[in-house]
A and B are shown apart, each in its own frame.
Chain A
């Protein structure tokens, strides 16, 4: 089994591993996401109905509303959220939602960023682990 190693930029430091869930489009975590179920409910989104729980979530960026940090903090609070976020852009709203949840609930969910073209090569279901310094290991 081949594993690839990438160097990601660390936005919020932490350690995590899990199976990749790769979103093809940006997502609003208010209105497009149910934070209780951890599910994508935006009917126009390519990953509509996908559950983000326990995944390493690869997402190009958030979109839309000011409510995104709250949706992220709530899904992390109730345990329905991802174990880590890998972004295609330096997205402040996702970063702040995770930072606040980490602080309030004693979590260590990392947020890292990789170039969008690297993200396109990742497949959902791949095993991913993230190191504190941003080292990203991706299995088949």
Chain B
């Protein structure tokens, strides 16, 4: 039975206006579906409902704006369907939908959201702290917030994300509770060559395997090297929440709630232990995108999730003074704040001169296709490789960042031998 506070009840009864009543009804319905005992306060929300998926999205936010809704907590925006900096980027034959997508993004700015337009909001300053209750929506960000930062969020969907930000309240359920954060199964990667564990592609492939194998169970990983960084953990988050619905993983000795196996499993034992081998990862790589060696390489897509400043730095170093083969279409997606940081260092100008198109506010893996993106596309992102071929006229080839750069310069797929370190 759901217990509501005095203010919750006042809002539910309509004593604070129709917008708050509608938002509170939505939060309460979610709490009842979740069988939560109470609602709790949140301090932050990452909003996904700004991503256009039809006229209903606009009707929803316009109703709230007409009723005078405002936000109770800071709320940052996820990527939009279109880029505000390049409105012709996506299919102009669907101009009505693209116009509404643009209108939707502006409506969320009017509602009071901070327009960061990124799927990787955790790359900006001012992120939540360990133990903070927040609302995450975009799947990679939910997994990153829970796992890497130790903030607490369920996997919120459209509308509930906004209603939670308006009321500042969410159901006290699942990942908000200690009992909902205990690891259940263990992935052991200690048998894999340390040289392979040091590669960026390792984390994408491991994430893919974890997503596929975890099903409803919360995973822990043992054997990640101390050298693994936030971009690596971002890769696991994105891949595991694409091939599966992993909202949280614990990496023993790495992530904040897992100093030990005992801590991650709350003193219990894993229900199942999976020893991951190099062959499992090679299989994942083939599953996600193996080069058929027949059709020519048409392009490269980086930045799913949005590129970080560290990734920009690495890309600039890998490319050096070389240029992209002019026959290719090379897209890099990032958030506008990271873009500004990279631009201030001269990196965006260098990359654009070399032939890379840098896109902000949106991403390239979903429909409708961005300008010129078709055919055989190479990516370093397991998430991109998982989704894009189902939604776009593309086939994916998965490679490391370094392999993507070498391929782009040569104009053909150039993969290292799998076991070379």
Contact = CB atoms under 8 A, between A and B. Distances in A.
Interface of A: 11-12, 30-31, 35-36, 42-44, 63-71, 73-74, 76-78, 90-93, 95-97, 99-101, 103-105
Contacts of A92: 30, 33-34, 157, 160
Query: Chain B at the A interface: mostly helix, strand, loop or mixed?
Result: helix
Q: Which of A63, A65, A90, A105 has the most CB of B within 10 A?
A: A65
A69 B159 contact: yes
9 interchain residue pairs of minimum CB distance: A74-B54, A73-B56, A70-B53, A93-B157, A66-B137, A70-B158, A66-B48, A74-B56, A69-B158
A78 B53 CA distance: 13
22 contacts: A11-B29, A31-B366, A31-B387, A36-B54, A42-B390, A44-B390, A63-B245, A66-B137, A66-B139, A66-B161, A67-B48, A69-B158, A70-B49, A70-B157, A77-B56, A78-B54, A90-B35, A95-B30, A96-B26, A97-B159, A100-B56, A100-B159
Contacts of A43: 390
Contact of B60 (A31, A76, A91, A100): A100
Given A64-B139, A66-B139, A70-B54, A104 B59 contact: yes
Contact of A31 (B26, B56, B138, B391): B391
A101 B54 CA distance: 12
A95 B35 CA distance: 13
B283 to A, nearest CB: 18
Contact of A74 (B29, B57, B137): B57
B156 interface: yes
B22 interface: yes
Contacts of A104: 56, 59-60, 63
A83 to B, nearest CB: 17
A100 B49 CA distance: 13
B51 interface: yes
A66 B156 CA distance: 6
Contacts of A77: 54-56, 59
B22 A103 contact: yes
B48 A11 contact: no
Interface string B133-164: 00001110000000000000001111111000
Nearest to B51: A67
A104 B157 CA distance: 17
Given A66-B48, A67-B48, A96 B160 contact: yes
A54 B41 CA distance: 39
Nearest to A33: B53
Nearest to B387: A31
Interface residues of B, number: 35
B245 A90 contact: no
Nearest to B32: A11
A64 B240 CA distance: 11
Contacts of B157: 65-70, 92-93, 96-97
Nearest to B27: A96
A101 B53 CA distance: 14
Given A69-B158, A70-B49, A103-B22, A96 B30 contact: yes
Interface string B166-193: 0000000000000000000000000000
A11 B32 CA distance: 8
Interface of B: 22, 25-26, 29-30, 32-35, 48-49, 51, 53-57, 59-60, 63, 137-139, 155-161, 245, 366, 387, 390-391
Contacts of B138: 66
Given A73-B56, A95-B33, A96-B159, 17 more contacts: A11-B33, A35-B53, A35-B54, A66-B138, A66-B158, A66-B161, A67-B51, A68-B158, A69-B159, A70-B51, A93-B157, A93-B160, A97-B159, A99-B29, A103-B22, A104-B59, A104-B60
A134 to B, nearest CB: 14
B34 A70 contact: no
Nearest to B389: A43
A70 B57 contact: yes
B56 A90 contact: no
A111 to B, nearest CB: 9
A63 B49 CA distance: 17
Contacts of B245: 63-64
Contacts of A99: 25-26, 29
Contact of B160 (A30, A35, A69, A103): A69
B56 A96 contact: no
Nearest to A93: B157
A44 B35 CA distance: 32
Contacts of B160: 69, 92-93, 96
Contacts of B137: 66
Contacts of B387: 31
Nearest to B78: A66
Q: Which of A11, A42, A95 has the most CB of B within 10 A?
A: A95
A65 B30 CA distance: 17
Q: Which of A30, A63, A77, A96 has the most CB of B within 10 A?
A: A96
A44 B26 CA distance: 32
A90 B34 contact: yes
A91 to B, nearest CB: 7
